[in-house]
Structure 1
Amino acid sequence: MTRVKICGLRTRADVAAAAQAGAAYAGFVFFPPSPRHITTGDAVWIAGGLPEGIIKVALTVDADDELLAAILEAMPIDILQLHGKESPERVAEIRTRFSRPVMKAVGVGSEADLPALDAYAQVCDQILVDARPAPEAELPGGNGIAFDWRLIQGRRWRRPWMLAGGLTPENVAEAIRLTGAAQVDVSSGVESAPGRKDHEKIAAFVAAATGRTPG
């Protein structure tokens, strides 16, 4: 069954809604320009309401070691998601230094972007195949933009991978059908406004991705 990550959760109620819907992963954004950003102080409070069994992911963008250490101290994070311009060498360094699995996001917009997926698969634990943001975009992800899923149709990597970018309750089943994704990630596609999660949309997304009945 397809596993779902709900990213950009900002409250205990958001986390509860994701867990109740059947999401496997809960994603938390530590990047101030994002409307989904939480502070390490927020993380301490949210951690008190985390349900057992859900995989906790911290998304950072070109974070230094000090920030990564602070996040890990504030919340029991299972996976570090690197969503910036981190080099393969930096990915490997973080993985070793913090003894945590690392998920590397790689933006895809054309075939020219595909070799990077192979390069990062050598050094990370999971790959997040995301839509490459437009040059003028302020955020590296969560922009509600999809890429041509046919670019990765039939492709596989040596690490588990997750599909992201512009997914919604309405299109996620088709995206899974075209790509064969066993894992999917959503953020803006289950929001009523930037940074504000819609719990009904979360339930609908998980149901569409997994084939379960909502509720």
Structure 2
Amino acid sequence: MSELGVKICGITTPEDALVAQELGADYLGMILSQGFSRSILPDEAVDIGLVAETPLVAVLVDESLDEAQRIAELSGASVIQLHGEENVEYVEELRRRGMWTIWKAVRVRDPEDVTRAVEGLGTSVDGLLLDGWHPDRPGGSGVSFSWEGVRVMRDQIPSALKVIVAGGLTPGNVADAVRVLRPDVVDVVSGVELNIRRKDPERIGAFVRNARGEE
């Protein structure tokens, strides 16, 4: 994988998975909790996994532990991204049930949200995904957060903890996000879409190139 990872999230079809992979994505995110505009079923994730060699990320929101385990195993995901109110006890039990990499989303309203997440979860998860806060949507809202506010405490995040930046990223602003926040991974959903369930190859290509400073 490249030094800076790129995650294309909200993948719903094998065709989009292949396009994202060919254009340089390092992770393919799939919304596997139901009831969201980009949700897919675990067997649809299996179809994506059959054509994609890129690691799959199962995005889950407040599932029971048994259901989270079932979905992750069925989908073939190597990364579980928890995007709800899951606590440290939940994370530790999920880790005991499988060999997944676990990322926990933090909806950032102010830098203290990040500090609290590092203090509360930093030893139990492999990465923190910093996302914009929205009152009604756990993710994929296209809402950003104050990069400058988080930048001042970026060095407080342990180097062993991967930092994934999401929230309102587009081909036009991802280079600035990388410069300000120095993430390990950048994550995009709506910023590379043709419509709510289909990706735009041109936008994906531009996002990847701009994130990595290739143009």
TM-score under structure 1 normalisation? 0.91
- The Cα shift of 1:43 comes to 1.6
- The within-5 A match list for 1:45-60 is 45-51=47-53, 54-60=54-60
- The within-5 A match list for 1:130-169 is 130-133=131-134, 135=135, 137=136, 139-154=137-152, 155-156=154-155, 157-158=157-158, 159-169=161-171
SS at match of 1:98: coil
- The Cα shift of 1:171 comes to 0.3
Report the equivalent of 1:185: 187
SS at match of 2:51: coil
Q: Is the 8 A contact 2:80 2:103 kept in 1?
A: yes
AA aligned opposite 1:101: T
Q: Is the 8 A contact 2:128 2:164 kept in 1?
A: yes
Q: Could you tell me how far apart the structure 2 residues matched to 1:73 and 1:98 are?
A: 9
Report the equivalent of 2:93: 93
Compute the RMSD of aligned alpha carbons.
1.5
Q: Could you tell me how far apart the structure 2 residues matched to 1:152 and 1:73 are?
A: 34
- The Cα shift of 1:98 comes to 2.3
SS at match of 2:97: helix
Report the equivalent of 2:102: 102
Higher mean displacement: 94-103 or 56-65: 94-103
- The Cα shift of 1:31 comes to 2.1
- The Cα shift of 1:65 comes to 2.7
Q: Is the 8 A contact 1:188 1:195 kept in 2?
A: no
Q: Could you tell me how far apart the structure 1 residues matched to 2:15 and 2:188 are?
A: 17
Number of equivalences: 208
Residue of 2, 7, 31 corresponding to 2:9: 7
AA aligned opposite 1:87: N
- The Cα shift of 1:26 comes to 0.8
SS at match of 1:127: strand
- The Cα shift of 1:164 comes to 0.6
For the pair 1:70 / 2:82, whether they are aligned, the reply is no
SS at match of 1:107: strand
AA aligned opposite 2:20: A
Q: Could you tell me how far apart the structure 2 residues matched to 1:55 and 1:42 are?
A: 15
AA aligned opposite 1:115: T
Q: Could you tell me how far apart the structure 1 residues matched to 2:190 and 2:15 are?
A: 17
SS at match of 1:48: helix
